[in-house]
Amino acid sequence: MTIPAALTPKPRVLLGPGPSDVPHSILQALALPTIGHLDPAFLAVMDDIRAMLRDVFKTGNPTTVPTSGTGSSGMETCMVNLLEPGDRVLVGINGVFGTRMAEVARRCSASVTAVEGAWGRALDLNDFKKAAGASRFKLVCVVHAETSTGALQNLDGFSGFAHDRGALLMVDAVTSLGGVPFEMDAWGIDAVYSGTQKCLACPPGLSPVSLSENAVTTLQVRNAPVQSWYLDLSLIGQYWGTERVYHHTAPINMLFALHEALRLILEEGLDVRHRRHRTNAEALWAGLTAMGLTLPVPDAERLPPLTVVQVPDGIDEAAVRAQLLKEYNLEIGGGLGPMQGKVWRIGLMGHGSNRKNVTLCLAALTAALRAQGHTAKDDPLAAANAVWA
């Protein structure tokens, strides 16, 4: 074969559903010299990461670690560690990732009861109560930020509901952690997983996970070993804990990158970071509305890091995305599942949530829609500037 040329990927402005733009200092961390996964210097990095993750999750849980793999590996880690065949699971489904939670639970041989909600809307706790009746469950599972629809879930009351039915509360925070307020301990969450490639502004490849004391007890009293050796937190915990027992070779340089990503988040301050995401999202929403576009998720349930936009009638949505990529080097996402071809998904996550990107997106989208005959109702940039002002 002919040896390919060295890779020289063109930088993009990543405003899709993930991955998000990665700051230069995090890319530099990836390029640091690789050292051994049991090197004392690397063990100190691991300790830093665990401490910073606890701060970002707002938890004191000792079992707070980044697992090797993307966000879906975190989902599977929580499921395989906490479920055994025949366990009953109650899963909220209002998008692709609730659907995936249910599928992973079924593959753990659990009995799944689905609580179905409208895509693009938050779930109603009363629907969980109706679906559960007087039954008891092992897990109650909810997506905090549904990436496929742009809906943000209010978690008030969910932990009390789950615990009253003997269940642990498990939450998907892949697109919310680092972008909107998240309070693991205060909200009574027992198991949570996230991903590095969204609001943490790190390359994809790790999934931070945290288990409460009750969740750890559930793991310890299992009747059978965890079905996945690779994702067994009782084994992984011996590497991340004081024992430092080898489990698998850690992705050294990805962990260097996560260390820098978490450091930047805490340096900025979580409250400041959350306000930045909210303000830039509101500017984007104002600009899109001025263009005459519809945002199908109600404002009170809208996810600041990820906005879903309804494609106007007569517009070729894929052609718009292709034009943005070709002419403006700008990536936005299309719809998934029943929303495929009907919506765009615009991400303002982590480092990418800034005024420059909002302005570029609004200007580029205006031009791409104009090319297909859609005229903006009002000036989108003036509307966005009014929010920042």
E strand or H helix at 25: helix 24-30
Q: State the CATH number of the domain containing residue 338.
A: 3.90.1150.10
* Two tokens, residue 188: 């009574």
Number of other CB atoms surrounding residue 129 within 10 Å: 14
For residue 93, what are the β-bridge partners? Answer: 116
Q: What domain count does the chain have?
A: 2
Q: CA-CA distances (angstroms) from residue 40 to 43, 201, 244, 278?
A: 5, 27, 10, 40
Q: Which of 267, 294, 310 is the last residue of a domain?
A: 267
Angstrom distance (rounded) from CA 26 to CA 350? 12
Residue 314 and residue 247 share a domain: no
Residue 340 and residue 244 share a domain: no
Residue 150 and residue 74 share a domain: yes
Residue 286 and residue 228 share a domain: no
Q: What is the pLDDT of residue 170?
A: 98
Q: What is the pLDDT of residue 352?
A: 98
Q: Is residue 31 part of a domain?
A: yes
Q: Which of 267, 299, 325 is the last residue of a domain?
A: 267
* Two tokens, residue 84: 């055994």
* Two tokens, residue 31: 């390029």
Q: Is residue 13 part of a domain?
A: no
Q: What is the pLDDT of residue 65?
A: 98
Q: CA-CA distances (angstroms) from residue 385 to 5, 285, 354?
A: 44, 12, 13
For residue 171, what are the β-bridge partners? Answer: 142, 192
Residue 227 and residue 333 share a domain: no
Looking only at the bridges linking them, the beta strands covering 333-334 and 343-347 are: antiparallel
Q: pLDDT digits over 29-79, tens only?
A: 999 999 999 999 999 999 999 999 999 999 999 999 999 999 999 999 999
Residue 146 and residue 275 share a domain: no
Angstrom distance (rounded) from CA 168 to CA 105? 14
Residue 237 and residue 355 share a domain: no
Q: Is residue 260 part of a domain?
A: yes
Residue 263 and residue 274 share a domain: no
Residue 307 and residue 167 share a domain: no
Instruction: Compute the Cα dihedral for 30, 32, 38, 40 and give only its sign.
Output: negative
Residues of the chain with pLDDT under 50: none
Q: Is residue 337 part of a domain?
A: yes
Average pLDDT across the chain, whole number: 97
Number of Cα atoms under 13 Å in the Cβ half of residue 272: 7
Range of the domain at 262: 24-267
Q: Is residue 14 part of a domain?
A: no
Q: State the CATH number of the domain containing residue 147.
A: 3.40.640.10
Exposed/middle/buried for residue 347 (C-beta within 10 Å: 0-12, 13-18, 19+): buried
- pTM metric for this prediction: 0.97
Q: What is the pLDDT of residue 35?
A: 98
E strand or H helix at 175: none
E strand or H helix at 199: none
| CB distance 383 to 289 below 8 Å | yes
Q: Is residue 346 part of a domain?
A: yes
Q: Which of 183, 175, 182 is nearest to 200 (CA)?
A: 175
| CB distance 151 to 144 below 8 Å | no
Q: Which of 130, 142, 164, 138 is nearest to 86 (CA)?
A: 138
Q: Is residue 198 part of a domain?
A: yes
Q: Is residue 81 part of a domain?
A: yes
Angstrom distance (rounded) from CA 174 to CA 78? 13
Residue 244 and residue 376 share a domain: no
Q: Which of 267, 292, 322 is the last residue of a domain?
A: 267
Angstrom distance (rounded) from CA 166 to CA 145? 25
Residue 372 and residue 244 share a domain: no
Instruction: Compute the Cα dihedral for 210, 212, 213, 214 and give only its sign.
Output: negative
- For residue 132, the one-letter residue type is A
| CB distance 123 to 130 below 8 Å | no
Residue 371 and residue 258 share a domain: no
Q: What is the pLDDT of residue 329?
A: 97
